[in-house]
Amino acid sequence: MIRANRHYAKLKASYLFSDIAKRVAAYQSENPDKEVIRLGIGDVTRALPHACIEGFHKGVDEMADDATFRGYGPEQGYDFLREKIAKFDFNSRGADIAGDEIFVSDGAKCDCGNFQELFAQDIKIAIPDPVYPVYLDTNVMAGRTGIFEDGRYQGIVYLDCTRENNFLPELPKEPVDLIYLCFPNNPTGTTITKAGLKEWVDYARANKALILFDAAYEAFIRDEDLPHSIYEIEGAKEVAVEFRSFSKTAGFTGTRCAYTVVPKECMVYDEAGEKVSLHALWNRRHCTKFNGVSYPVQKAVEAVYSQEGQIQVKALVSYYLKNADLIRLSMGELGFTFVGGDNSPYIWVDGQGRDSWEFFDMLLSKAGVVCTPGAGFGKCGQGYIRISAFNSRENVEKAMMRIAEALK
Ligand code: MLT
């Protein structure tokens, strides 16, 4: 008899964003005449930058000719792209990352979900609350937690992010082995300073722990003093892996491309306490389970690093940041308090005593606006909603007017 992975039974029935999509679809089928504006899942709405489209076309044309056609590429990504990523995203900010420490992939969600495979079953894991659900759910699937009780999985060290600590996780009181951090944060939109990040790097070094640093929203940082990468912090190369994505940076949610940085200095430990290269482990996994991102997509991404590409990508991100400004202004005028939205596309709004899902349902039914209920990101998200700035200016303006009307 083929038996199911019993740990899946501990999960909530469906993934947060699938759950929301179902509710929205049900609303739409009951109200076919109502136009719904989606400020829920962080999915981009604007076309790829022109430079990327040109790169993409060139890549496709090369595939059309036997002389330039390419079959399997290197699993880790083509050198032309890995070298540019290292130079522009890291070396230019003083972070000493080499091209062969970059693993190009089809998404940061997959990478940060898959990375936990490299670790022992009985490690202690610290996860912020609220949190992007992938970090938690993938460890539940892997059997690293107990059951879900009172809104939490047993065995996880939750790092509460609340109004009291400005939604910033604090160092765990008990020793942990693996720490998930995400800045600019999803879902709260908060950022971390270099000094704040240094505390985590120092903690990881002192405790032989590892940080999985999700920097998928790095392109939204406009504040000069904020770190864009954990490798801007001294010593981080020994204790941190960083995930980046072109989804939000360059509009690749549908085109798919991301990368993970695994520095060669980064070590984990075997049963005997001997050092094991994390780079070698991830490389082994990557080559076994992944055949690389398609050549035309990598050519499209390469163009992000051209002079025009850099200008266009910046303009694209600024467009969404202006939407975020409008959301902040409008929610503020309506008397709500919030964080995020200045170096982030997400605005984390305090529902003033409303239950997250009730607030979500009310905005959907009365305003036809989709947000994300904070409780879907964890216990500490209860009472909040997340509003995403990913939509057209016109729709964001309309959504804000409708919300104001619905709350009258
Ligand atoms: C989100 O809305 O949190 C993100 O779009 C989800 C993702 O990037 O997978």
Atom of ligand 1 nearest to the CA of 187: 3
Block residue for tokens 């170096």:
343
pLDDT of the residue at 377? 96
Ligand 1 atom nearest to 372, measured from its CA: 2
Ligand 1 geometric centre to CA of 159 (Å): 20
pLDDT at 109: 97
Query: To test the ligand 1 pocket, which listed residue (16, 17, 185, 248) has its Cβ within 8 A of the most ligand atoms?
Result: 17
* pLDDT tens for each residue of 381-390: 999 999 999 9
Report, as an integer, the average pLDDT of 360-375: 97
Atom of ligand 1 at shortest range from CA of 388: 2
CB contact at 8 A, 312 and 293: no
In Å, what is the CA distance from 217 to each residue of 14, 148, 213, 258?
25, 29, 11, 12
For the cut 90, the answer to whether the pLDDT of residue 355 exceeds it is: yes
CATH code of the region 6-47+308-406: 3.90.1150.10
DSSP state of 5: -
Return the residue whose CA atom lies nearest to atom 4 of ligand 1. 42
Distance 103 CA to ligand 1 centre (A): 21
| In the chain, where the domains are located | 6-47+308-406, 53-306
Average pLDDT over residues 289-295: 98
Residue-wise pLDDT for 232-274, tens only, equals 999 999 999 999 999 999 999 999 999 999 999 999 999 999 9
pLDDT, one tens digit per residue, over 87-131 is 999 999 999 999 999 999 999 999 999 999 999 999 999 999 999
pLDDT at 14: 82
Whether 13 shows a pLDDT value over 80: the answer reads: no
Mutate-to-test residue for ligand 1 from 15, 16, 20, 41, highest number of ligand atoms within 8 A of CB: 41
**Strand, coil or helix: 173:** coil
Sign of CA dihedral 264, 265, 269, 274: positive
Name all residues whose Cβ lies below 6 A of ligand 1: 41-43, 109, 132, 186
- For residue 41, report the distance from its CA to the centre of ligand 1, in Å: 6
Query: Pairing state of beta strands 178-182 and 210-214?
Result: parallel
Instruction: Provide ipTM, 2 decimals.
Output: 0.94
pLDDT per residue as tens digits for the range 179-201: 999 999 999 999 999 999 999 99
Q: Give the model's pLDDT for residue 176.
A: 98
Distance 61 CA to ligand 1 centre (A): 32
pLDDT value, residue 152: 96
- Specify the CATH architecture of the domain 53-306: 3-Layer(aba) Sandwich (3.40)
What is the C-alpha separation between 180 and 198, in angstroms, rounded? Answer: 15
- Which of 20, 112, 132, 360 to probe ligand 1 with, by most ligand atoms within 8 A of CB? 132
Helix (H) or strand (E) holding 187: none
Q: Is the peptide bond before 187 cis (omega within 30 degrees of 0)?
A: yes
177 pLDDT tier (thresholds 50, 70, 90) = very high
pLDDT of residue 15: 86
Strand partners, 386: 348, 372
Q: How far apart are CA 205 and CA 230, in angstroms?
A: 13
Q: How many helices (H) and strands (E) does the chain have?
A: 12, 17
